Structure 1
Amino acid sequence: MLLADVAAASAAVAATRSRTAKAGAIAGVLRRAEPGEVGPVTAWLAGDVRQGRLGVGWRTLARLAHDPVAAPALTVAAVDDALTALAATSGAGSAARREELLGTLFGAATADEQRFLVRLLTGELRQGALEGVVLDAVAAAAGVPAEAVRRAAMLSGSLPATAATALAGGTDALAAVRLEVGRPVRPMLASPGSSLGDALADLGAEVTVEHKLDGARIQVHRDGDEVRVWTRTLREVTGAVPELADRVRALPCTTAVLDGETLALDDDGAPRAFQDTMSRFGSAGPDAAVLLSPFLFDVLHLDGRDLLDEPLAVRLDALAGLLAAPEHAPLRMPGVRRPTPEQAAGVLADALAAGHEGVVVKALDAPYAAGRRGRAWQKVKPVHTLDLVVLAAEWGYGRRTGRLSNISLGARDPDGGEPVMVGKTFKGMTDELLAWQTATFPGLAVETPAWGVRLRPELVVEVALDGAQRSPRYPGGVALRFARVVRYRPDKTPAEADTIDAVRALLTG
């Protein structure tokens, strides 16, 4: 298969807002792909590369994107091989070698292929919700139920691998994908809840209400004495968090897959700033002065027994048994099962008094399912917050002259399109944050007009807001009210940003 075929499908996906049409275009390419091509094609059409981050800057790629060839000849295999070689290049002389590899690749590409490669390698294609469309496309191309594809993707942690399995072996091959201790599972996520009362009314009495921490999601696997830790994006951080591994290694079990959060606490047991927690996962290496504490709220496997399909009530019983000893009890996420409304309100009050964000209300009859499938888990915070994608930033004026200040905010399109702009804000920014934006944003820019920078959709920022209002000014017909920056979320990708539907749900009339 030629790269041109993939680039054409990507253009067709971008040209329509119909989820069905997007999935159909992708399915058509997948049906024509050879077995060895399915993995890279799936990754590319989901806006990613199989090799992970390649560390290629937009300016470098823009400089190389010239003198295209007239007729397409680049194959999918050749491009994937070039990206693999690029990812493996490091050490002395690597900069020149990387430039040579990229130059050869771009020199063999047509104009359309060059544009596709630039967008792919800079992350501009990574719209997040597009992954859901690709899952539907894989199901259509393989002629299998979409739920079978979603489950296999959850258990394998890899969409390209799932696509290859589906097209090669169909439903039986997908059903054979099992949870493996040592291979991360895509996490189940909570949907925003409007209020504690609404969440309880929606889910009923058979719920658990737990603290929602201002921390980082972790998934911990134990196999004997070997313990490994992943973040919510399935990035392994085992070497950076030895204290978490030690705590899990001390538990009375042989094999386990545990889900939870971690955060840094001060000497009084209060949560430290979110940035302190995230400093343990930074590219500059862990900050040994900041110790992390684990808080576990789910168990997916325990001593040879898979628990994914069991109701949450059963999983919580298993977790309670694992953490029954007094020395392990502090690892359990605080919460109350089957609370009265007054008890649930007390859990929320206790969480806020302890400096946490709020609570999560979970249905006790729900199995574990990756992503936000349904509303079995609902997070409730006293202040509305949304995780949005930063689309652009404008140069400030007055005391902010010379700094990139006012940011444009986009919500995720649930049908896989470009992020939908819903507002701007310059509120809540400290001098330190302004300095960071000014230093960081130019490296993520896809355009630098006189007024500021347009960014590839890579950064996720959490904003607090008073609600939403109808507005003809923005394409989604809705605008944020009094938005202010809370923090950037390096632990989240655009795939995990809130959707335009979540913004519309805040409309007051």
Structure 2
Amino acid sequence: MELSRVVDTSAAVAATRSRKVKSAELGALLDAASADEIPIVVAWLSGIIGQGRLGVGWRSLTSLVGPPAVEPTLTVDGVDEVFDRLAGARGPGSTTLRRELMTELFAAATESEQQFLRRLMTGELRQGALAGVMVDAIAAASGQPLDLVRRAHMLTGSLPETASIAVHGGADELAAVGLQVGRAVAPMLATPADSLADAVTSLGPDLVVDFKLDGARVQVHRRGDEVRVYTRSLRDITAAVPDIVDVARRLPCDTVILDGETLTLDADGRPRPFQDTMSRFGSAGVADDDPTALLRPFFFDCLHLDGVDLIDRPLTDRLDALTALAPDLRIPSVVNPSVEQAQRHLDAALDAGHEGVMVKSLTGPYAAGRRGKTWQKVKPVHTFDLVVLGAEWGSGRRTGFLSNLHLGARDPDGGRPVMVGKTFKGLTDALLQWQTDEFPKHESHRDSYTMYLRPEIVVEIELDGVQRSSRYPGGLALRFARVVRYRPDKTADDADTIDSIRALLPAGD
């Protein structure tokens, strides 16, 4: 298959907000691809390079000059082979080899192909090929049942792997996909509740209310003495969290998959600032006389225990397994509370320094990778995880520092983040210095006032509300927005959507 066919489909998908049209365009492309090309094409249109890191940075790509090719000649297989060679370049002479490979590749690419390759190789390819739409296209192209393809994707967490199984293995292999201890599963996510009373009423009477800890999401896998720990974005951080590994190895089981949070606590048991928790990731360990620096895991779900997959079981069964295994590691919770009892639990969570509570139905299965109504989060203030799109150079006492942030919400249709406002409030001197040091690593371009960034950094923003506004592309503006903290545990795909922010608009507005 010619690369130009993939590029044209990418442009067509980016040009429409219609899920039906997106699915049709992707399905037609996959229909035309060979069985070996499908996983590659699926990966690229999902913004993924199968080889991982290629050793080619943004500056190397922008330094490539020369006229583009007039006619398209590049093929999917040919480009994938170049990526293999780039990823495999090691040792003396590797820099020169990469430069030669990139020069040859871009000289053979048309202008639109060059743009596509640059965006793909820098992680900026966001043309709206949503996972759900791609799953539909994989099912159509492979002729396999949609429910089997969807489930395989949930459990593998990989669209290219799902496509390969669907094409090469068929229905039997799709049906055989299950939980695999040591392979991360896309985490189940929660939706914001309108209020605690609404959440308790809508999910009751069989429900549990958990503390919502001010920590980082972790998924812990153990088989024998082998332990793997993953973030909510499925990044393997095992080597960076020896405290959690040690706790997992002491559990009385052989195999287990646990979902939970980790954080550091003060001597009185209160959570330390989120930045303290994140700074512990990657340190080699802590001194015996500094227990407050330990990363402490607390769990709220058990997906597998000693050979038994629990992911399809109701939450009550999964909690029974968790309680039997590690009762002292359970997140504080109350079962089947009244609204008044749930409110007291929320008050206790806030008094202890945590964010709020999670209200969960006890009858629901674990919906991997989905944001379902059976889990609802309740927090006393409006906070959103937004993408930093740029930052303006400061003035006065902030001269020389990157200050005023450009904020974007995630496009639910898979396009680029939608700008919804700016803020410089809540930025400490330490954060100003960090931004000024860190943001250039994510720069896409700049003008005399602003450094614009690739959509990679997520920041948690607290606000009083939103209002209609024509000033920003999202059609609304944030009211009294202020920085709470940066979220290195999240990617742009974890950011809140523009729809979730619009939901704060007053009724009838």
Taking structure 2 as the reference length, what is the TM-score of the superposition? 0.93
Q: Measure, in 1, the Cα distance between the counterparts of 2:197 and 2:55.
A: 46
**CA distance in structure 2 between the aligned counterparts of 1:356 and 1:170, rounded to whole angstroms:** 47
Q: 2:363 aligns with which of 362, 365, 382?
A: 365
| Counterpart residue number, 2:166 | 166
Q: Residue 145 of structure 1: CA displacement? A: 4.4
Report if aligned partners of 2:242, 2:284 keep a CA contact under 8 Å in 1: no
CA pair 136-497 structure 1, distance change in 2 beyond 3 A = farther
- The match for 1:245 is 245
> Structure 1 residues 425-434 or 141-150, which shifts more?
141-150
Q: Which amino acid aligns with 1:294?
A: P
User: For 1:281 and 1:52, how far apart are their aligned partners in 2?
Assistant: 22
Q: How does 1:45-444 map to 2 (within 5 A)?
A: 45-54=45-54, 56-126=56-126, 130-282=130-282, 286=284, 288=286, 290-323=293-326, 329-444=327-442
The alpha-carbon distance between structure 1 residues 286 and 197, as it changes in their structure 2 partners (threshold 3 A), is farther
Amino acid at match of 2:215: G
What SS does the aligned partner of 1:168 have? helix
Aligned to 1:474: 472
Is contact 1:458-1:494 (8 Å) kept? yes
1:452 is aligned, of 436, 444, 450, to 450
Match of 1:12 in 2: 12
2:290 matched to which residue of 1?
Answer: none
CA separation of 1:145 and 1:389: change in aligned 2, threshold 3 A: farther
Counterpart amino acid of residue 106 in structure 1: F
1:49 is paired with a residue of what secondary structure?
Answer: coil
**CA 1:376–1:90 in 2, change beyond 3 Å: closer, same or farther?**
farther
Displacement of 1:385 after TM fit?
0.6
- CA drift of 1:267 comes to 2.3
Aligned residues: 502
Deviation at 1:339, TM superposition (A): 1.2
Q: Distance in 2 between matches of 1:233 and 1:65?
A: 35
**What is the alpha-carbon distance in structure 1 between the residues aligned to residue 30 and residue 139 of structure 2?**
10
SS in 2 for 1:406: strand
What one-letter code is carried by the residue in structure 2 that aligns with 1:508?
P
Q: Distance in 2 between matches of 1:206 and 1:423?
A: 40
- Secondary structure of 1:492's counterpart equals coil
Any gaps of 5 or more consecutive residues in structure 2? 288-292
How far 1:108 moved relative to its partner?
2.4
Per-residue CA distance 1:106-163 (angstroms, 9 max, x = gap): 2322211111111111111147873333223223333444443232112112111012
Q: Is it true that 1:21 corresponds to 2:21 in the alignment?
A: yes
For 2:295 and 2:39, how far apart are their aligned partners in 1? Answer: 36
Rounded to whole Å, the distance in 2 between the matches of 1:355 and 1:95 is: 50
Q: 1:184 to 1:148 in 2, by over 3 A?
A: same
The question of whether the paired residues in 1 share the 8 Å contact of 2:45 and 2:129 is answered with no
Q: CA RMSD in A?
A: 2.0
* Aligned AA (1:163): A
Does structure 2 conserve the Cα–Cα contact (< 8 Å) formed by 1:65 and 1:114? no
The letter of the residue matching 1:457 is P
Identity %, equivalent residues: 62
Alignment partner, residue 326 of structure 1: none
Give the C-alpha shift of residue 203 in structure 1: 1.5
Pick from 485, 488, 495 the counterpart of residue 486 of structure 2. 488
Contact persistence 1:360–1:379 (CA under 8 A): yes
Higher mean C-alpha deviation, range 135-144 or range 333-342: 135-144
Evaluate the alpha carbon distance shift between residue 451 and residue 247 of structure 1 in structure 2; reply closer, same or farther with a 3 A threshold.
Answer: same
The 1-side partners of 2:127 and 2:260 are apart by: 26
Cα distance 1:90–1:334, how it changes in 2: closer, same or farther (>3 A)?
farther
Give distance in 1, aligned partners of 2:299 and 2:79: 42
Q: Are 1:187 and 1:371, in contact at CA under 8 Å, matched by a contact in 2?
A: yes
**TM-score normalised by L of structure 1:** 0.93
**Rounded Cα–Cα distance in structure 2 between residues aligned with 1:126 and 1:288:** 40
Q: Supply the distance in 1 between the matched residues of 2:192 and 2:91 (Cα, whole angstroms).
A: 45
* Distance 1:55-1:444 versus aligned 2 partners, 3 A rule: farther
Residues 353-373 of structure 1: CA deviation (Å, up to 9, x unaligned): 111111111111110112334
Aligned residue identity for 1:174: L
Q: Distance in 2 between matches of 1:475 and 1:225?
A: 51
Counterpart among 479, 483, 505 of residue 507 in structure 1: 505
Query: Given residue 115 of structure 1, which amino acid in structure 2 is its aligned partner?
Result: Q
State the Cα distance separating 1:19 from its structure 2 match.
2.1
Aligned-partner residue type, residue 404 of structure 2: N
CA distance in 1, matches of 2:96, 2:214: 42
Deviation at 1:73, TM superposition (A): 1.9
**One-letter amino acid matched to 1:494:** A
CA contact (8 A) 1:128 1:494 kept: no
